Each structure stands twice: as structure tokens, then as C-alpha cells.
Amino acid sequence: MSFIDLKGLKDVKEPKNAPEGRYPLTIINAKMHETENGQSIATVIEVESGDPALRYANVFHYVALPNGKDVDKDQTKLLMAKRFFAQFGINADEGVELEHFVGSRGQGNLAVEEYQGQQKNTLKLDRLAAEA
């Protein structure tokens, strides 16, 4: 068997979750995601700590897309998608360009929640601004 040299492996650590609060956020990845319940847009969001030496764990957020099976659920999915697009300044009218997600920036409230026995950050979407 051949030895594979991995310098720095001893020193690498899991990034910490951000404490609950509001942070500058940047989408660093976005792709389509298929589940048994339909499609969603899987995004990876970078959290800016304000301290170059401190790196928080990325946040994974899924934008569920309507599937045409339940009108009420589809309306809720559209509302949550519209909130996400507004929060990150993503141009959306009757659809969106997935390629425009990466690099989109916004502010967002993060919570700390448990998922499969581990703590993680989740994005709490802002409500839409009141329309006149």
C-alpha cells in the first residue's frame, strides 16, 4: 500500500456554527435537487463573521418548488421562494435563472437547530416588504 501524504490533516477542524443573529450572507453554490416530493433548489450559503480569522460553517438552504399536486402547498412554496429571492436580490418574475444565484448577497437571521443529533445553522427568511 502506498502512503498518501496529507499535510495539515491533524490540524483541520470542523467550522463552528454562528451564534443566533443577523449576518451578511453570500450564496456560493446552487443546483437543482430531486426528492420523492418534487424538485427544489439546493443552495450553500457562506456566513460572514466580520473577523477574517473566524470562519463559520456554511448554511444549506433548500428552496422547494411547486409540483402541481396541491394548490395550497404550491402557494406556500411560491411565497417562501419569493422571500428567498427578495432576501438575496435575485431577479424573479415568472421564474429565475439558477446561474444568477452564485454570488448573490443578502442579510439574514440564522438560528441554531438540531438535525440528526447535531447542531446546525438554519436561515430564517424575512417576510416580504408590505406592498402599497
pLDDT tens per residue across span 106-119? 999 999 999 899 99
**Which residues face 16 on adjacent strands?**
56
- Taking Cα atoms as reference points, which of 97, 108, 28, 94 lies closest to residue 66? 94
Summarize pLDDT for 43-87 with one digit per residue, the tens.
999 999 888 888 999 999 999 999 988 999 999 999 999 999 999
The pTM assigned to this predicted structure is 0.88
Band of pLDDT at residue 131, cut at 50, 70 and 90:
low
pLDDT band at 94 (very low <50, low <70, confident <90, very high): confident
